[in-house]
Amino acid sequence: MRHRILAIDDDKDILRVMKANLQLHDFQVDTAVDCREAENALSETLPDLILLDLMLPDRDGIEFCIELKRQYGRSQCRFCGTGCTVMPGVKDGRVVSIKGDADSPINFGRLCMKGYSLPHIMYGNDRLTKPLVRKSDGSYSEAGWDEVLDLIADRFAGLIKKHGRDSVAWYGSGQNTTQEAFAANKLFKGIIGTANLEGNPRLCMASAVGGYLNTFGADEPAGTYDDFDQADCFFIIGSNTAENHPMLFRRVVNRKTAYPEKIKVIVADPRYTPTARYADIHLKF
């Protein structure tokens, strides 16, 4: 079944591009440039997702916009770590739309396609919401949390008894909280008695921290987002910022658009990415 999306924006050019991109992914897309058109589009059936951007409501649509605004909460996008504020629209306890927060100093009311896809991810048919236990034939069956935790504990105990403490290990995620990582360390080092703990931060954040310490003397990037608005030259090395951190790249685009002759963008990357296409100079290495 094709998902239906209603995109609302007072900029027709943005709507045209958004509609074309979404249709490439087999979405049914309706568009509206003001509240009157949005009301007409919503009069028949509620779409699976509403993309609501900043718009100039007409007088007849004021009440419609106010009602939508009342239903919006405020949260944080969890994708690339830029820190964009998202505002989910909730109806009957279910997220039915999403938009950026106009008061956010990070994304200024904008969202990229990853942020816009949050509601679909929440209710996607392929989202794992219950524990699954793999059977001997390779298939999976649903199970309760208590059952699964007992199974894990029994398997761990059996392995340790048969092969020793170092036969088990813990591999964590960069999404683990400090408290979760502390509990895992206490369990494996203090109770089980093994140092077999690892996590993806060693390949990602931990290596970046080491680089920052050696380069800048501090375990964090030396710049701030405000520096984007003051820079005359952007030297982007090995990063496809346009797709990986679209809201940050928007700052580069805004700066370049405001001063096209003054601002230079240099990209060093063996790939020809959307970021490289925007560069004044593309250095392949």
pLDDT band at residue 252 using 50, 70 and 90 as cut-offs: very high
The residues facing 198 across adjacent strands are 171
Q: What is the pLDDT of residues 30-81, one digit of tens each?
A: 888 877 787 777 666 667 667 765 443 343 444 455 455 556 788 999 888 8
Rounded Cα gap, residues 219 and 202, in angstroms: 14
Does this model's pTM top 0.85? My answer is no
CATH of domain 4-122: 2.20.25.90
For the packed helices 35-42 and 62-70, what is the interaxial angle rounded to 10 degrees? 70
Cite the beta strand spans of the chain per DSSP E.
4-8, 28-32, 49-52, 75-76, 85-91, 94-100, 132-134, 140-142, 170-172, 197-199, 233-237, 264-268, 281-283
**Where are the domains positioned within the chain?**
4-122, 130-163, 166-216, 223-283
DSSP structure class, residue 188? I
As a whole-number percent, the residues of the chain with pLDDT over 90 amount to: 47
Q: Residues 93-117: what's their mean pLDDT?
A: 86
pLDDT at 68: 53
Of how many residues is the chain composed?
285
State phi, psi for 178 to the nearest 5 degrees: -60, -40
174: Cβ contacts below 8 Å, ≥ 6 apart: 199, 200, 201, 204, 205
Give CA–CA dist 50/8, Å, rounded. Answer: 8
What is the average pLDDT across 136-156? Answer: 95
Query: Does the domain at residues 223-283 carry the CATH identifier 3.40.228.10?
Result: yes
d(CA 225, CA 106): 8
